[in-house]
């Protein structure tokens, strides 16, 4: 019953008809495409979608189109090409984790309407903190009623370190219960994870204070870092990639930050393209304004020491 209660709560949180739990969002992503799409249908996927979406699409025998990252002209061209199929599904991350950029969902939903397609979003980097009430990218961009399917995780902002789900139309959820292999052939979530996720959703539904404070903290970090002379990729997202270019610079600066008590990770090729090494900073609801200011000061000091700042 606690699992059923959580599914009901997830659906209510996202304002959808029903929801189904998985052991992880990776499982939710590998379980949906094969269950929903046949060789008569088509999926149109952003080229930078998460690995689990790519794997989910690999497992299914539908027609596959890959459009250039957030490129609406290319998506439209692919949608035109895909008109010959029975059903079209556009699949995108709501927010992309390496750059902190947010999918243009208004434009995607408009194209989907025009070319008769369904929209699927992966909200792992949005659930709980994007949008005025933390509902996610669809709330932030005002398209909650236009996105058909949401997959997300209980393991990131909701804090459980495990658990994932699909939420959307009841008929789709019924279908997944019958056909989705990671749901059918794997254990359900441990009760402790169900309990913590349920409480996290209660906190978010009682008040939007946490979601609002995230937006303010993100803005504080991004604007202070930019004023200090750093380039921060993406926009309005608490994933703040500090762009450095050189792989060694990113790695030694991240080490120096750690020696100052600040745990941030350097990313370089092959995780990100060559010449685009960065340190990815993730602002959290538990950071105080003082924490953020201390982090900016440390970055400034370390950046000057290694020549990333004049």
Which one among 75, 124, 215, 232 touches ligand PLP, defined by CB under 6 A?
124
266 - beta bridge partners? 279
Token pair recorded at residue 273: 């393209």
In the complex, minimum distance from the CB of residue 223 to ligand PLP, in angstroms, rounded to a whole number: 26
Judged by CB under 6 A, the stretch of 39-47, 121-129, 226-234, 288-296 that binds ligand PLP is: 121-129
On the 0-12 / 13-18 / 19+ scale of CB atoms within 10 A, 3 is middle
Residue 10 near residue 167 (C-beta atoms within 8 A): yes
Overall size of the chain counted in residues? 310
Which one among 122, 166, 222, 266 touches ligand PLP, defined by CB under 6 A?
122
Is the Cβ of residue 27 or residue 139 nearer to ligand PLP in the bound state? 27
Cα angle 137, 20, 64; round to 5: 65
Alpha-carbon distances of 112 from 21, 86, 119, rounded to whole Å: 27, 14, 7
> Can you say whether the dihedral through the CA atoms of 200, 207, 8, 151 is positive or negative?
negative
Can residue 25 be called a binding residue for ligand PLP (CB under 6 A)?
A: yes
State the residue number with the nearest CB to ligand PLP. 24
Q: Tell me whether residue 125 is one of the annotated catalytic residues.
A: yes
State which H helix or E strand residue 304 sits in.
helix 289-305
Q: Tell me whether residue 97 is one of the annotated catalytic residues.
A: yes
Can residue 26 be called a binding residue for ligand PLP (CB under 6 A)?
A: yes
Q: Tell me whether residue 156 is one of the annotated catalytic residues.
A: yes
In the complex, minimum distance from the CB of residue 50 to ligand PLP, in angstroms, rounded to a whole number: 4
Can residue 100 be called a binding residue for ligand PLP (CB under 6 A)?
A: no
Rg (CA), the chain: 20
In the complex, minimum distance from the CB of residue 213 to ligand PLP, in angstroms, rounded to a whole number: 23
Site string for ligand PLP, 45-84 (x = CB under 6 A): -----x-x--------------------------------
Judged by CB under 6 A, the stretch of 117-125, 178-186, 196-204, 231-239 that binds ligand PLP is: 117-125
Query: Comparing C-alpha atoms, which of 19, 13, 9, 6 is closest to residue 135?
Result: 13
In the complex, minimum distance from the CB of residue 181 to ligand PLP, in angstroms, rounded to a whole number: 15
Site string for ligand PLP, 153-182 (x = CB under 6 A): x-x--------x------------------
3-state secondary structure of 20: strand
Alpha-carbon distances of 12 from 150, 207, 222, rounded to whole Å: 13, 15, 32
Number of Cβ within 10 Å of residue 227's Cβ equals 10
Backbone angles phi, psi at 101, to 5 degrees: -100, 155
3-state secondary structure of 57: helix
Judged by CB under 6 A, the stretch of 63-71, 120-128, 197-205, 257-265 that binds ligand PLP is: 120-128
Contacting ligand PLP within 79-98 (CB under 6 A): 93, 97
Which positions lie near ligand PLP, rule CB under 6 A? Answer: 24-26, 29, 50, 52, 93, 97, 122, 124-125, 153, 155, 164
Active-site residue set: 97, 125, 156
């Amino acid at each position: 019953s606690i699992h059923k209660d959580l599914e009901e709560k997830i659906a209510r949180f996202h304002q959808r008809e029903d929801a189904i739990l998985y052991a992880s969002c990776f499982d939710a992503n590998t379980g949906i495409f094969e269950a929903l799409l046949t060789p008569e249908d088509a999926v149109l996927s952003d080229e930078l979608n998460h690995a689990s979406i790519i794997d989910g699409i690999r497992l299914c025998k539908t027609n596959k189109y890959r459009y250039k990252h957030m490129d609406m002209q290319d998506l439209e061209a692919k949608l035109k090409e895909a008109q010959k199929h029975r059903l079209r599904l556009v699949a995108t991350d709501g927010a992309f984790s390496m750059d902190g950029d947010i999918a243009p969902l208004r434009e995607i939903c408009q194209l989907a309407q025009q070319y008769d397609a369904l929209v699927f979003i992966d909200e792992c980097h949005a659930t709980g903190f994007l949008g005025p009430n933390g509902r996610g990218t669809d709330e932030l961009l005002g398209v909650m009623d236009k996105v058909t399917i949401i997959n997300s995780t209980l393991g990131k902002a909701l804090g459980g370190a495990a658990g994932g789900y699909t939420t959307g139309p009841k008929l789709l959820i019924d279908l997944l219960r019958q056909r989705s292999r990671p749901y059918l052939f794997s254990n359900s979530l441990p009760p402790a994870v169900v309990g913590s996720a349920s409480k996290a959703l209660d906190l978010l539904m009682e008040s939007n204070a946490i979601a609002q404070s995230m937006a303010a903290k993100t803005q504080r970090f991004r604007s202070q870092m930019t004023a200090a002379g750093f380039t921060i990729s993406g926009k309005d997202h608490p994933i703040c990639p500090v762009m450095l270019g050189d792989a060694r610079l990113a790695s030694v600066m991240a080490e120096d930050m750690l020696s100052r008590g600040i745990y941030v990770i350097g990313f370089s090729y092959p995780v990100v393209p060559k010449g685009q090494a960065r340190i990815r900073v993730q602002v959290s609801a538990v950071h105080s304004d003082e924490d953020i200011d201390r982090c900016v000061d440390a970055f400034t000091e370390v950046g000057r020491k290694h020549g990333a700042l004049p």
